[in-house]
Structure 1
Amino acid sequence: MKKVRCPQCGEPLTFDETRFVAGQKVMFVCEKCGKKFGIRFGLSKLKDNPTDAEEETRAGNAPYGMIVAIENKYSFRQEIPLQTGDNSIGRMMRGNKVRCPIDTGDLTMDLNHCVITVSRTKKGALQYVLRDGPSNNGTFLNGERIDPQERRIIEPGAMINIGATTIILSDGSED
């Protein structure tokens, strides 16, 4: 199942992407505000020439790792690629400038909840550092709350809880 958001009110609409082919136009009517809109499935006018990192991510290889967000209430899974530098993580909302927005209805997740910084060690290995946003409800690493000033080095497989959402860090090499 895929989600699209109404361009007028931001309400998420869910649809079965297996029923459509690339290039087919799909029409939607928002149940909340009545707005009619359409999307062309599987094509993007904005990204005709993807960068190498985008191409690797599409092929299933996230060069700097990814986070897998699983909203506990609905078990909606999202894979969000990470980039080098600060990757701010928070709730998706129109106008929110976080680098890794999570599409959720979880109001216990802040708009800018936590940050994962991706860098390379002197030996060239990827290093991930987690810190709180600071957030209103806290960031939990493997069930332990992180202080707002604290920074923790985390490894792939680490479980991060922000609100009712669980995030699992992946280095992109495992499925």
Structure 2
Amino acid sequence: MKQVICPKCDKAFTFDESRYDASSHISFICPNCRKRFVMTLDQIEDSNGGNLDTSHGYITVLENAFGYRQEFPLHPGDNLIGRASKGTEVDIAIETTDMSMDRRHCIIHVKEKGGQLQLTLRDNPSLTGTFLRNTLLGDRERALLHDGDVVSIGAATFIVHIPGEEDDEYFE
């Protein structure tokens, strides 16, 4: 038996993982809050104390409609972000019912420069645009990201976390 934690209410419940292979998507309905969500066995293990590699930063997604929190590690190179949809290949598949988020919405590029991480954001392009700090990114525009930056895609918002950057640089 494995334990899964509901991303909405943080309550844990168990299920029999022996019926599933590691690559299959498993649909759950939380017995506490009745929220429906989908995870793979790898995601379940990572959310229950497994060590996600956050050495290149990560994003925290807060879906505006339901307060559904998701965290995704970033990797060097392009990180394609979009709405989770069967048959669509993205690096970060955000579970959402928000149809205003494209399946391939935006890209965060991660590179190391002079011993520091440098993250840039660009729209893929999407139909509804990508907003950084409430400003719409233009076509082909790339914006440098900082720790704590807020990005909106569709009705969802995510926060960028960059290791080694100080949070208080905006409050000097």
Return the TM-score normalized by structure 2.
0.70
Residues in 2 aligned to 1:95 and 1:130: alpha-carbon distance in whole angstroms: 24
Alignment: residue pair count: 142
How much identity, in percent, do the aligned residues show?
35
The answer for unaligned runs of 5 or more in structure 2 is 21-25, 30-38, 166-172
Q: Does 1:20 align with 2:14?
A: yes
Residues in 2 aligned to 1:89 and 1:95: alpha-carbon distance in whole angstroms: 14
Larger Rg: 1
Shift of 1:74: 0.3
Q: Deviations over 1:147-171 (max 9, x none)?
A: 1210011111000000000010012
CA contact (8 A) 1:61 1:172 kept: no
CA contact (8 A) 1:71 1:164 kept: yes
Q: Does 1:2 align with 2:6?
A: yes
Q: Does 1:89 align with 2:78?
A: no
After TM superposition, the structure 1 = structure 2 runs for residues 66-145 of structure 1, keeping only pairs within 5 Å, are 66-121=58-113, 123-145=114-136
Residues in 2 aligned to 1:80 and 1:60: alpha-carbon distance in whole angstroms: 8
Shift of 1:21: 7.3
Residues in 2 aligned to 1:92 and 1:42: alpha-carbon distance in whole angstroms: 13
Letter in 2 for 1:167: F
Residues in 2 aligned to 1:70 and 1:59: alpha-carbon distance in whole angstroms: 21
Residues in 1 aligned to 2:18 and 2:10: alpha-carbon distance in whole angstroms: 13
Q: Deviations over 1:39-65 (max 9, x none)?
A: xx9966xxxxxxxxx8xx933651111
The answer for unaligned runs of 5 or more in structure 1 is 4-13, 31-40, 45-53
Shift of 1:24: 7.6
Residues in 1 aligned to 2:157 and 2:75: alpha-carbon distance in whole angstroms: 20
Residues in 2 aligned to 1:29 and 1:79: alpha-carbon distance in whole angstroms: 18
Residues in 2 aligned to 1:15 and 1:118: alpha-carbon distance in whole angstroms: 32
